[in-house]
Amino acid sequence: MMDKLRDTSQHAEVVLNNLAAPLKPYLSHIGRFLLVVTFLEDALRIFMQWSEQVRFMEYYRNFPRSLAHIFLFYNVTMMLTGSVMGLARFKTPVACGLLASVVVAQTLGYGLLFHPSFMLRNFSLIGGILLLLAESFTSDGKRGRAVLFPGLPNITETEKSTYVSLFGRILLILLFGALGLQGTFSPMKKVFAVLACISCMMVAVGFKARYSAMFLVAILSVANIVINPWWSYGTDSAERDFLRYDFFQMLSIMGGFLLLANSGPGELSLDEKKKSY
């Protein structure tokens, strides 16, 4: 039985390698773009709906009008700046900090701190940002030791990448917890849910993490179209904006999985442990 499973696993790896081969040189670029696409779309949406956004913050969130303008300006500026810096690989840690600050600011500003599905999605998005940060530690050519705080042990860029990658991939899979809170489960959905859970566990422990990440991207590609068909709603529909936001946010989380598929799970993983034996 184990031999059969091993053979099936190896065959699946070969198939995935063949399918991913044309995209492999571009995975990092695609992952980065998808990761920031929700921020770019949200910045454009806020800019195009500025008056409506100000009214919402003023009347529903009880923001003073001037503070509502400042809040929205901060979000648009940080999203655009962080996205451009991330895409250009310019001061990526700063870019990640700016994008993460927007996630926190919007969670508090829109009063969504106790919304379980939204928070799980946000944690997952933060996980993608952490994987972008981890990639920057190992791709910028730095291998020296960095002093974080005086008196504490120094750590290398590779060590920082290892720990950040671990937290990032654990947070990344929380998206599937959010999806589990949505709608009912048909028999087909249950099958996909089981497969997704197995793949998520493999990502968390870092076992066949690259292949599991690619498989989860495939699942999310289908799920995103089925769950968030924002294009099928009229432009005046409020549901259109909600679904569009969820659609692009899921694309960004898929970008995090592509970064994981490109860079691997890091040293704190079963994949790396197997290499050392």
Q: What is the pLDDT of residues 169-228, one digit of tens each?
A: 999 999 888 877 666 666 777 777 888 888 899 898 888 888 889 889 988 998 899 889
Q: What is the mean pLDDT of residues 128-134?
A: 94
Q: What is the mean pLDDT of residues 87-112?
A: 94
User: What is the model's pLDDT at position 149?
Assistant: 42
Q: What is the mean pLDDT of residues 238-265?
A: 91
Among 46-50, 135-139, 260-264, the minimum mean pLDDT is found in: 135-139
User: What is the model's pLDDT at position 97?
Assistant: 96
- Ranked by mean pLDDT, which of 19-28, 77-86, 166-175, 267-276 comes out on top? 77-86
Over 80: is that where the pLDDT of 142 sits?
no
Among 83-87, 115-119, 269-273, the minimum mean pLDDT is found in: 269-273
Over 80: is that where the pLDDT of 28 sits?
yes
Which residue type is seen at 133?
L
User: What is the model's pLDDT at position 146?
Assistant: 46
Q: Which residues pair with 145 in a beta bridge?
A: 156
| pTM of the entire predicted model | 0.87
Over 60: is that where the pLDDT of 144 sits?
no
Over 60: is that where the pLDDT of 150 sits?
no
Concatenated DSSP letters of the chain:
-HHHHHHHHHHHHHHHHHHHTTTGGGHHHHHHHHHHHHHHHHHHHHHHTHHHHHHHHHHTS---HHHHHHHHHHHHHHHHHHHHHHHTTSSHHHHHHHHHHHHHHHHHHTT-TT-HHHHHHHHHHHHHHHHHHHHHHHHS---SEE-SSTTSPPEEHHHHHHHHHHHHHHHHTTHHHHHHTSS---HHHHHHHHHHHHHHHHHHHTSSHHHHHHHHHHHHHHHHHHH--GGGS-TT-HHHHHHHHHHHHHHHHHHHHHHHHHH-S-SSSHHHHHHT-
* Structural contact between residues 32 and 87, judged by C-beta atoms closer than 8 angstroms: yes
Report CA torsion sign: 32, 36, 38, 41: negative
Percentage of the chain lying above the pLDDT 90 cut? 50
pLDDT band at 154 (very low <50, low <70, confident <90, very high): low
